[in-house]
Amino acid sequence: AITLRFQREWGFLLYALVLVAISAVNHKFYCRYVCPLGAGLAIPARLRLFDWLKRHRGDCGTPCQICANECEVAAIHPDGRINANECHYCLDCQITYHDDQRCPPMIKRRKRFEKASRLSRG
């Protein structure tokens, strides 16, 4: 049933208001520090057997910073490494990684391919 009355103790309201206030300042505070699912996912992240997220070896990070600036949870270091404990696997960095209009190594690869195709045509 839908009711317009608040039928909880004030402790619950205070808890919710504190979480909302902290989340206004610290992005995804609940997901990072309070959520049991996040804590459960952080444990296997420490025991990472596979490197799921692709990076351009040597090209990511230092000159570019696109992925690091776009990462909402700041899981990408300035040198291009991904901190698996902070990463939420939203895959936004992978979209940028495969975008040949935004990722500098992919732009170089695309231009090299276009130049080779122009030379082969004539």
Q: What CA–CA distances, in Å, run from 8 to 12, 50, 114?
A: 7, 45, 64
**Residue 76: inside a domain:** yes
| pLDDT at residue number 115 | 92
Query: Does residue 36 belong to any structural domain of this protein?
Result: no
Within a domain: 23:
no
Residue 112 lies in a domain: yes
List, in order, residues 6 or more apart from 4 with CB less than 8 Å away: none
- Encode pLDDT of 32-44 as tens digits: 788 888 777 777 7
Q: Range of 102's domain?
A: 54-121
Whole-structure pTM value? 0.59
The string of pLDDT tens digits covering residues 5-35 is 777 788 888 988 998 999 888 877 887 788 8
pLDDT, tens digit (0-9, with 9 covering 90-100), for 79-117: 888 887 788 788 888 888 888 898 888 888 899 999 999
Is 12 inside a domain boundary? Answer: no
Assess if residue 94 is contained within a domain. yes
